[in-house]
Every structure is written in structure tokens, then in C-alpha cells.
Amino acid sequence: PPETASATVEIHVTDENDEDPKFTKRNLVTEMSESEMPEFSVLKLTAWDPDEESDLEYDISCPCR
């Protein structure tokens, strides 16, 4: 039988203005096989900020294990 592994990634949003940024989906789940190349995207995350003239910045912090 194939071996499996899983990881949970929590995303914390930091707001700098009045309105909190919103994600289009609250929970996302994705799967990938061991043979897939790691440079390929495995998940797409979309958000918006109701504040006027807002620019969203995404950042992934490690330790990633």
C-alpha cells in the first residue's frame, strides 16, 4: 500500500487598517502525489480587503516541515 503523510497549515491574517481582509474560502484542502514536482502550485488562495486603496501582501513563514 502507498504511504501517506499530511500537514496542516494555519494562515494568520494581520490587518493594518480598519477592515479585516477576507478570504474567498475559509477552509481549503489539497492533495498531491509524491511524483509531483515541488515547484508546482498545490493551492491557490484568494483574498480581498474592504478598505479603500488596500494592497494585500502574502507571506509564508517557516519553519516549514
Please give the model's pTM, rounded to 2 decimal places. 0.48
Give me the pLDDT at residue 19, please. Answer: 79
Return the C-alpha cell found at 34: 509524491
Residue 2 lies in a domain: no
Kindly calculate the radius of gyration of the chain based on its CA atoms and give it in whole angstroms. 15
pLDDT digits (tens, 9 = 90+) for 24-57: 887 888 777 777 666 767 778 888 888 877 777 7
Residue 65 lies in a domain: no
The domain of 47 spans 15-51
What's the rounded Cα separation, in Å, for the pair 37 and 26? Answer: 27
Residue 4 lies in a domain: no
Domain count, the chain: 1
Residues 6+ apart with CB under 8 A from 23: 11, 13, 45, 46, 47
What's the rounded Cα separation, in Å, for the pair 12 and 30? Answer: 19
